[in-house]
Amino acid sequence: MTRRRAVLWNSVRAAAAALAVLASGCGAAGPRTASSPSSLAASPSPSPPASPKQSPRISPTAAQPCGLGGPGPATIQHVVLIVMENRAYSEVIGSPDAPYINHLASVCGLATGYQAVAHPSLPNYLALTSGSTQGVTDDGGPDQHPLSAPSIFGLLGSNWRSLEESMPANCDLQSGGDYAVKHNPAAYFTSIRQACQGQDVSLTTPPDLSAAFTFITPNLCDDMHDCATSAGDSWLAREVPLLLDTPQYLSEQTVIFITWDESTGSTQQVPLLVIAPSVPRGARVAGFFNHYSLLHTTEQLLGLTPLLGAAASAPSMVSAFNL
- What is d(CA 140, CA 124) in angstroms, rounded to the nearest whole number? 13
Q: Residue 296: which residues within 8 A CB-CB, separation 6 or more? A: 307, 311, 312, 314, 315, 316
pLDDT score for 69: 77
* Length of the chain (residues): 323
CATH number of the domain encompassing residue 144 = 3.40.720.10
- Euclidean distance between CA atoms 116 and 124, whole angstroms: 7
DSSP state of 177: T
Residue that wins the pLDDT comparison between 16 and 92? 92
The residue ranking higher by pLDDT, 93 or 20, is: 93
Q: What band does 70 get if pLDDT is binned at 50, 70 and 90?
A: confident
Residues spanned by the domain of 148: 78-312
Closest CA to 80 of 284, 274, 304: 274
For the chain, what is the radius of gyration of the CA atoms?
36
135 part of a folded domain: yes
Is the pLDDT at 253 greater than 80, yes or no?
A: yes
Convert the pLDDT of each residue in 167-199 to its tens digit: 999 999 999 999 999 999 999 999 999 999 999
First to last CA, the chain: 105
Indicate if the pLDDT at residue 116 is higher than 50: yes
Which H or E run includes 12?
helix 3-24
Residue 12 located in a structural domain: no
Split at pLDDT 50, 70, 90, the class of 265 is: confident
Q: What does the alpha-carbon distance between residue 106 and residue 123 come to, in Å, rounded to a whole number?
A: 30
What pLDDT digit, counting tens, does each position of 300-309 carry?
A: 999 999 999 9
Domains: count for the chain: 1
Alpha helices in the chain (DSSP H): 3-24, 89-92, 99-107, 121-130, 152-156, 193-199, 229-244, 247-250, 291-302
For residue 44, tell me if it sits in a domain: no
Tell me, yes or no, whether 24 lies in a domain.
no
Residue 57 confidence (pLDDT): 52
- Dihedral (CA of 199, 200, 206, 208) sign: positive
For 24-41, what is each residue's pLDDT tens digit? 443 434 433 333 333 333
Q: Which residues, including other chains, have CB under 8 Å from residue 127's CB and lie 6 or more apart?
A: 117, 118, 133, 291, 292, 295, 310
195-231 pLDDT, tens digit each: 999 999 999 999 999 999 999 999 999 999 999 999 9
In a domain, 22, yes or no: no
The rounded percent of the chain whose pLDDT value lies above 90 is: 76
Tell whether pTM > 0.85.
no
DSSP helix/strand/coil, 136:
coil
pLDDT of residue 45: 45
On whether residue 117 sits in a domain, the answer given is: yes
What's the whole-number average pLDDT of the chain?
A: 87
Inform me whether the pLDDT recorded for 151 exceeds 50.
Answer: yes
Whether 150 is covered by a domain: the verdict is yes
User: Is 50's pLDDT higher than 60?
Assistant: no
Question: Does some domain include residue 72?
Answer: no
